[in-house]
Amino acid sequence: MEKTFIIIKPCAIRRDLIGEIIHRFEMKGLQMCGIKMMQLDDKILDVHYVHLKGRPYFQRIKDSMMKTPVIVSVWKSIDCVQIAREMAGCTNGREAARGTIRGDYSVSIQENIVHTSDSVENAEIEIARFFRKEEIFEFNQLSASVLYACDEC
């Protein structure tokens, strides 16, 4: 099964949305494999957002991501990266469809509640950046037999 990486951002932490966001992914059928709260710093954010370095809003994004601790998590399912991205909605909360996490809880392009990996390859990189191997757990999800057809997993 595929894994993805999700950050519950400080804007969601400050609005007490942690449980709601986790609940949405669980209700969809994604399985949590790892979770922790951590305080991000310049060092890890410089690496995580290297693709934005040089943009005028780079420091503003980093400052936003350091306002409070974040929740970082690893999830798995068939097509997990795509599912999580679709559930999150488009980056700009004002444009995100109703029913998506950002569409329901965000009116900002920056304060947009969650980060989700954008590809399987980036999910692997991001998971390795934020988690040690022993912090990712493999176990049988009891509901798997009702989530998937017998030949899907």
The C-alpha atoms of residue 101 and residue 49 are separated, in whole angstroms, by 22
The C-alpha atoms of residue 32 and residue 153 are separated, in whole angstroms, by 16
Tally Cβ neighbours within 10 Å of residue 30. Answer: 25
- 23, 48, 51, 115: which is the annotated catalytic residue? 115
- Give yes or no: 115 in active site: yes
Dihedral pair phi/psi, residue 36, rounded to 5°: -160, 155
From first CA to last CA, the distance across the chain in angstroms is 7
What sign results for the dihedral spanned by CA atoms 23, 49, 37, 17?
A: negative
Length of the chain as a residue count = 153
Give the active site residues: 115
